Structures are given as C-alpha cells and as structure tokens.
C-alpha cells in the first residue's frame, strides 16, 4: 500500500469505521534513521488505533525505530515480511526475510524489549515455489520465540522473480487453508488473514475461524463497504454518516491541513475518489475532484462544483 495509506487516507477511512485498526504505509528503518522523522511519523489523533509498519532487517535499527513509533503514539509496531518488490529485496527485507526466520525473531525480540506496545509480523505463506505448509509453520514457530504474538498472513506465496508486485497479488493462488492450519497448530497466537477479500460475508466467515482479517486495496477502491464494519464486526451500531457528510468532513479536514501544514487539497482528495463507486454520476464526481484545472480553487468550491454535477436521482435525502 505504498503511496496509498498515508495519514490523509487513514483520516478518511476513520470517518467510515471507528474501530478498524489502520496501518501506515511501510516505512523503512533507513528513512527514519537518516530522513525526516516527522514527515514519516506524523499522524492525526483521530486515526487511533493505528499501527506503524516498518521495513528493515537489522535488529538494532528496528529497535530504534520501534521506540520512535511508540514515542510518537502509535498503538502497534508491525514488521513487513511480505512485500515482494525488487526495491525491497535489494534492501534485504520484506518477503525475502521469510528465508531467515531467526533473523526476524532477533528483530522482533529487539523491538519487544524496548516498547510496551504489541509487535506484530505480516508475511506470506511461502516464497517462490516453496509451497509446503511446513515452511510457513516453521517461520511462525521460530518468529514467535522472539516474542511476536500476532501474525497477519497474506495467503499467497510471494514470487521474488518474474512477477511484478501487482501480479504477486493476483497470480499465486490463495490458500486460506494453510492459514487455518496455523491457527489450529498455534492456538495461543493471534492469527489474522489477508488476501482477496471483497465481500463482508467472506470476512465474517473467516472471523469465525481466525482472529482478524486485513483488508487492503478493496477498502481503498470501495471504501463505502467499511460503513458496516463497526456494527457487524465490532458490535457498535452507531449512526453511520452519509456519503455527503463524509465528503463535507473531508473538506473540513482539507481546510485544516492547508492552514496547519500547507497541504494542497488535491493530495488529500485522491484518497476519497472511491466514495461514490457504483452510483450514477460517480465518474463525473471523480473527474471534478481530480481536475487539475481546479487546483487553485478552495476545496469547498470544488465540492460545490462536484455536487452541481451530481445527478438528481443519485442525491442523498436531506
């Protein structure tokens, strides 16, 4: 989810669900140690609960960055052992770390020793053609010895050669049964599943077997389905804001961000373009919010233009 789940995206998603745990983009240890810490770690108080996802392999660096994350107020530190991109491989972290479970365990222990918040690991079920259950079982077993108590398992292999990151989300087959076996073998651990979920019924089915479900791109492209999560998953049937209310609150946020951080509204609006997916006129609404010719206009003006173009039959009742 690089370049997707930034703090503006997470603010938007929090308007749709009060309880879902939100994750940052993967932030490398090098970026935090040698770069602008505030730029990478600043987030809105409204985002809680929110987890900082780290990319790295050196135990001392991970410990330093985990401590930074806790100091900045994150609720969880997550180590990414699932990203298959070539850039990540060159840094010797991400999915290739599954070949070095002892190194991952050492990194986890180093983080657990210096923070008081949960340290979790996100990973795949295998690498390349290693498709045996024993491979992922041994990885989880060894890493859990470092103090990790929650694993988020993307139920596909990661092919480190020959597939793009996009293809790695689509070509290797989903094997949910391996994740279920992990929970059966490690009942003391929290085992969550990730990969291919687009319907709430499928999510609820997994929650009867496992401890959690991670949703990625589907929540980004079709965010409105998040409106049901609090009532059905978290047993909190609070009133759900309308799409118009969500859009208005995002405009409030754009104005706040412009005043406080000089953030241009179009860098925020891009994250809410899926809000009206499936409705008549959604394409025209997206076009207005994506129109570079409107960049100099105030976001409230752009919202007015978008709503003027909205077909009467698709408008929500007052």
Q: Which two tokens stand for residue 117?
A: 């918040």
Whether residue 29 is contained in a domain is answered as yes
Query: Among residues 232, 265, 292, which one ends one of the domains?
Result: 232
Quick one: average pLDDT of 116-138?
Answer: 94
Q: Is the pLDDT at 90 greater than 60, yes or no?
A: no
Quick one: average pLDDT of 12-17?
Answer: 98
Query: How crowded is residue 106: how many other Cβ atoms within 10 Å of its Cβ?
Result: 18
Q: 3-state SS string over 37-99?
A: HHHHHCCCHHHCCEEEEEECCCHHHHHHHHHHHHHHCCCEEEEEECCCCHHHHHCCCHHHHHH
The reply to whether 221 and 284 lie within a common domain is no
pLDDT score recorded for residue 76: 98
**Ramachandran assignment for 117, one of left (phi > 0), alpha (psi -120 to 50 degrees), beta (any other):** beta
Secondary structure (3-state) at 144: helix
Sheet with 119-127: strands ordered across? 22-28, 50-55, 76-81, 119-127, 150-158, 190-194, 212-214
pLDDT score recorded for residue 167: 78
Q: Is the pLDDT at 183 greater than 50, yes or no?
A: yes
Which CATH number belongs to the domain containing residue 300 in this structure? 1.20.120.1460
Residue 87 — very low, low, confident or very high, per pLDDT cuts 50/70/90? low
Quick one: average pLDDT of 155-175?
Answer: 81
Whether residue 224 is contained in a domain is answered as yes
pLDDT score recorded for residue 44: 96
Secondary structure (3-state) at 216: coil
Residue 72 — very low, low, confident or very high, per pLDDT cuts 50/70/90? very high
Q: Name the pTM for this structure.
A: 0.92
Q: What is the domain range of residue 108?
A: 7-232
pLDDT score recorded for residue 318: 45
pLDDT score recorded for residue 276: 95
**Tokens 């990973």 belong to which residue?**
123
The reply to whether 181 and 305 lie within a common domain is no
Q: Which two tokens stand for residue 251?
A: 């405009």
The reply to whether 227 and 255 lie within a common domain is no
Q: Is the pLDDT at 169 greater than 90, yes or no?
A: no
Catalogue the active-site residues: 83
Query: Among residues 202, 232, 262, which one ends one of the domains?
Result: 232
pLDDT score recorded for residue 300: 97
Residue 171 — very low, low, confident or very high, per pLDDT cuts 50/70/90? confident
217 sits in which H/E element: helix 217-221
């Amino acid at each position: 989810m690089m370049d997707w789940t930034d703090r503006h995206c997470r603010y938007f998603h929090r308007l749709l669900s009060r309880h879902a745990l939100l994750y940052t983009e993967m932030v490398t240890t090098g970026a935090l140690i040698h770069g602008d810490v505030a730029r990478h770690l600043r987030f809105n108080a409204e985002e809680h609960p929110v987890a900082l996802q780290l990319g790295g392999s050196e135990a001392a660096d991970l410990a330093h960055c985990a401590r930074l994350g806790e100091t900045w107020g994150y609720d969880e530190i997550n180590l990414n052992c699932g990203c298959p991109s070539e850039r990540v491989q060159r840094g010797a972290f991400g999915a290739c770390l599954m070949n070095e479970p002892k190194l991952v365990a050492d990194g986890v222990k180093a983080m657990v020793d210096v923070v008081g918040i949960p340290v979790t690991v996100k990973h795949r079920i295998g690498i390349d053609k290693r498709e045996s259950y024993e491979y992922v079982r041994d990885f989880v077993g060894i890493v859990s010895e470092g103090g990790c108590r929650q694993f988020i398992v993307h139920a596909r292999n990661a092919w480190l050669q020959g597939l793009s990151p996009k293809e790695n989300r689509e070509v290797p087959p989903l094997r949910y049964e391996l994740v279920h076996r992990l929970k059966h073998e490690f009942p003391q651990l929290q085992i969550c599943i990730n990969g291919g979920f687009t319907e709430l019924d499928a999510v609820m089915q997994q929650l009867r077997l496992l401890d959690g479900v991670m949703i990625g791109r589907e929540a980004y492209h079709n965010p409105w389905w998040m409106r049901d999560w609090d009532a059905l998953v978290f047993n909190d049937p609070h009133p759900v804001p309308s799409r118009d209310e969500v859009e208005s609150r995002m405009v409030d946020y754009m104005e706040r961000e412009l005043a406080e951080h000089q953030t241009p509204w179009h860098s925020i609006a891009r994250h809410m373009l899926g809000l009206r997916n499936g409705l008549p006129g959604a394409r025209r609404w997206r076009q207005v919010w994506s129109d570079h010719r409107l960049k100099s206009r105030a976001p409230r003006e752009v919202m007015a233009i978008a709503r003027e173009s909205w077909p009467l039959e698709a408008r929500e009742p007052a």
